[in-house]
Chain A
Amino acid sequence: MAIHGCDYMGIYDLLSPEEKMVQESVSDFVDNEVLPIIEKHYQAGTFPMHLAEKMAELGVFGITLPQEYGCAGANNVCYGLAMQELERGDSAVRSFASVQSSLVMYPIYTYGSEEIRRKWLPKLASVQAIGCFGLTEPDFGSNPSGMITNAVKIDGGYLLNGAKMWITNGTLADVAVVWAKFEGKVRGFLVEKGMKGFTAPEMKGKHSLRASVTSELVFQDVEIPEENVLNVEGLRGPLSCLTQARYGISWGAIGAALACYESSLNYAKSRIQFDKPIASFQLVQEKLVYMLNEITKAQLLCYHLGRLKDAGTMRPQQVSMAKRNNVDIAIQIARIARDLHGANGILDEYPIMRHANNLESVRTYEGTHDIHTLILGADITGIQAFS
């Protein structure tokens, strides 16, 4: 149940009653609200906006932040379980929640003044306002420290110039958390919709994460008032947000893998070839066992990571391990599931190809697979191999 029909090591029994309820509630939400409509949106390349409101009502945005800001005040295992369930629906739905919660509400809560918190957090929790996070630039992806977007001081604030690319929710956003250099140091700026000189055109033509809006952000002499500057300096700012989001993605990837595994198990038991269910063949069983095995390992990794995060002892490198591993096995599982479903594996009646395609983005964003390899490599050898 907990780990949605696939809980080989009995992790469900380790969850608190609240954690179980969060998972079940989000799971029901995904079954009833997401799965029936998501394929249509994926095909059309549109974000299901009505789901954002329903997710807000459910309370998934800023789930770990205090209730006084309109949030749930839940722990990180609850957060992870919610992300897992949302991504069992679709990576785009989980991405929306990740951006809103970890990349927008988290920095506003952590680095914003009390006034800024009160202004934005309740609106973001109830999705009266949508947020986005602008770090990546056309020429600086894995290497954000090279960013060109910059701010200069003017009377009462700052003047922002530059461009961001690949920004989830950019076009929809009422507030953008934008990272730019000021006097050589990375700083965070809240850029609001409608500020003069700020535009956010949508990027089209994606074969992956089609139910998510991805945009450019363009800043031409945008005046940012002093109070919209976050109280953090250096890459530490954006990286701390990414740690939050990557943590959620590690759980989310399990959800996508579960959807592929569950569909594969059912399909293998019901599809008859050579007068037998294809599940009777050793090669097919091996595929199913591989999926189960990798999902179980990923679950244990996340469960433990969640407990560490709640205890306050989690290190970002441990999150890199989980993101790297779990997204990788989710892609492998999606590809094997595609194969196991035969021709049906490419059809929209099954969730397989959608997840397989989505996971290609998930592998790249929030630190590519290889960048996480280098983070872990640097951690264990003490030798940096980025440049």
Chain B
Amino acid sequence: MNIVVCVSQVPDTTTKIAIGADGKTIEKSGVKFILNPYDEYAIEEGLQLKEKFGGTVTALTVGNDSSKDILRTALAMGADKAVLISDSVNSDTFAIASSIADYAKTVAPDIIILGRQSIDYDSFAMASMVGELMNLPSISMVSSWTINGTSITAERDIEGGKEVIETSLPCVISAQKGLNNPRYPKLPDIMKAKSKPIDAVAGASVPARVMTVSMELPQTQRRGIILNDSEHDITELVRLLHEDAKVI
């Protein structure tokens, strides 16, 4: 089975994010980047498929030189090879999806697996876009699934319940948290990953279709206030709701 797993690099969840001077991007200096946590499920799923059906797992990312670290993590977890597709400067989800699709068409994967979202920009759109651009069926946020020959039955989480979907290979799926238990890279495998190849591929030169206008941080330091039931407190409550919270 020819398995492609798409991974992305995101700021470490413990990083304090600051907005860049242009007001549209995050300040990258001093930020530690990690493998997007949802992509760990995607890689694990790819590795389990390989263990069951044989084949190869290719980890792919659209990024720059600094994205090599997450590819090495994927290789250390057990991916056979990695592909680094160069990213253009102002790319949006569509531009990145185009790069992935262009590359994927050349290797004709049986399945493309992604994380359900990148925890940086949270567009949730990548799996559907890649599927569409490749003219393949896609199922997003898969929480469990089975493969029988070339047919797939997948369960996905929907608001307040579950949905069961059938389709067939080749297809694109995105992994929901809990799909599996991602393995830790084992120390000997980390060392072996050094000699696995990372291929460099030029990205699609597709212009971005959406533009970020501005970005701001959520208000921090919201503190709860406890009032009692005296007359004074009630007056204070009304004042707070009116003047501070501006809800009445």
* Residues of chain A having any CB pair with chain B under 8 Å: 1-2, 5, 12, 17-18, 20-22, 24-26, 28-29, 57-60, 63, 67, 71-74, 78, 82
Tell me which of A17, A71, A72, A82 contacts B72 (CB under 8 A): A17
B 48-68 to A, binary, CB cutoff 8 A, 1 in contact else 0: 000000000000000000001
Question: Is B214 in contact with chain A by the CB < 8 A criterion?
Answer: no
Given A1-B12, A5-B14, residue A20 in contact with residue B69 (CB < 8 A): yes
Q: Is the CB of B191 within 8 A of A72?
A: yes
Tell me which of A1, A2, A28, A63 contacts B187 (CB under 8 A): A63
List 10 A-B pairs, minimum CB-CB distance, nearest first: A59-B187, A72-B187, A72-B188, A1-B32, A25-B184, A59-B186, A21-B190, A59-B188, A17-B72, A25-B185
Q: Is the CB of A1 within 8 A of B14?
A: yes
Q: Which residues of A contact B188 (CB under 8 A)?
A: 59, 67, 71-73
Q: Is the CB of A22 within 8 A of B187?
A: yes
Q: A51 to chain B: closest CB distance in Å?
A: 13
**12 contacts across the A-B interface (CB closer than 8 A):** A1-B14, A17-B72, A21-B73, A25-B185, A25-B187, A26-B187, A58-B184, A59-B188, A60-B187, A67-B191, A72-B188, A73-B188
CB-nearest residue of chain A relative to B69?
A17
Question: Is B42 in contact with chain A by the CB < 8 A criterion?
Answer: no
Q: Which residues of A contact B68 (CB under 8 A)?
A: 17
Question: Is B196 in contact with chain A by the CB < 8 A criterion?
Answer: no
Other than A72-B190, A82-B187, give 13 A-B pairs with Cβ distance below 8 A: A18-B193, A20-B69, A26-B187, A28-B184, A29-B184, A58-B184, A59-B189, A60-B187, A63-B187, A67-B188, A72-B186, A73-B188, A78-B187
Q: Which residues of B contact A60 (CB under 8 A)?
A: 187
Max chain B Cβ within 10 angstroms of own Cβ: one of A17, A18, A28, A57: A17
Q: Which residues of A contact B185 (CB under 8 A)?
A: 21, 25
Question: Is B242 in contact with chain A by the CB < 8 A criterion?
Answer: no
Q: B78 to chain A: closest CB distance in Å?
A: 13
CB-nearest residue of chain B relative to A54?
B184
- In the assembled complex, the Cα of A78 lies from the Cα of B32 at a distance in Å of 19
Q: Which residues of A contact B184 (CB under 8 A)?
A: 25, 28-29, 58
> Number of residues in B with C-beta < 8 Å to the partner?
20
Question: Is B100 in contact with chain A by the CB < 8 A criterion?
Answer: no
Q: Which residues of B contact A67 (CB under 8 A)?
A: 188, 191-192
Q: Is the CB of A22 within 8 A of B14?
A: no
Tell me which of B12, B14, B32, B186 contacts A25 (CB under 8 A): B186
Q: Which residues of A contact B190 (CB under 8 A)?
A: 18, 21-22, 25, 72, 74
Question: Is B76 in contact with chain A by the CB < 8 A criterion?
Answer: yes
- In the assembled complex, the Cα of A22 lies from the Cα of B73 at a distance in Å of 10
CB-nearest residue of chain B relative to A60?
B187
Q: Is the CB of A74 within 8 A of B191?
A: yes
Q: Which residues in window 114-131 of B have CB below 8 A to A?
A: none
Q: A56 to chain B: closest CB distance in Å?
A: 10
Q: Which residues of B contact A63 (CB under 8 A)?
A: 187
- In the assembled complex, the Cα of A1 lies from the Cα of B72 at a distance in Å of 17
- In the assembled complex, the Cα of A71 lies from the Cα of B191 at a distance in Å of 10
Q: A285 to chain B: closest CB distance in Å?
A: 19
Q: Which residues of A contact B189 (CB under 8 A)?
A: 59
- In the assembled complex, the Cα of A24 lies from the Cα of B76 at a distance in Å of 12
Q: Which residues of B contact A22 (CB under 8 A)?
A: 187, 190
Q: Which residues of B contact A24 (CB under 8 A)?
A: 73
Given A1-B34, A5-B14, residue A21 in contact with residue B72 (CB < 8 A): yes
Q: Which residues in window 24-53 of B have CB below 8 A to A?
A: 32, 34
Question: Is B194 in contact with chain A by the CB < 8 A criterion?
Answer: yes
Q: Is the CB of A18 within 8 A of B191?
A: yes
B 68-88 to A, binary, CB cutoff 8 A, 1 in contact else 0: 110011001000000000000
Q: Which residues in window 191-213 of B have CB below 8 A to A?
A: 191-194
Q: B222 to chain A: closest CB distance in Å?
A: 15
Q: Which residues of B contact A59 (CB under 8 A)?
A: 186-189
Q: Is the CB of B187 within 8 A of A12?
A: no
Q: B57 to chain A: closest CB distance in Å?
A: 17
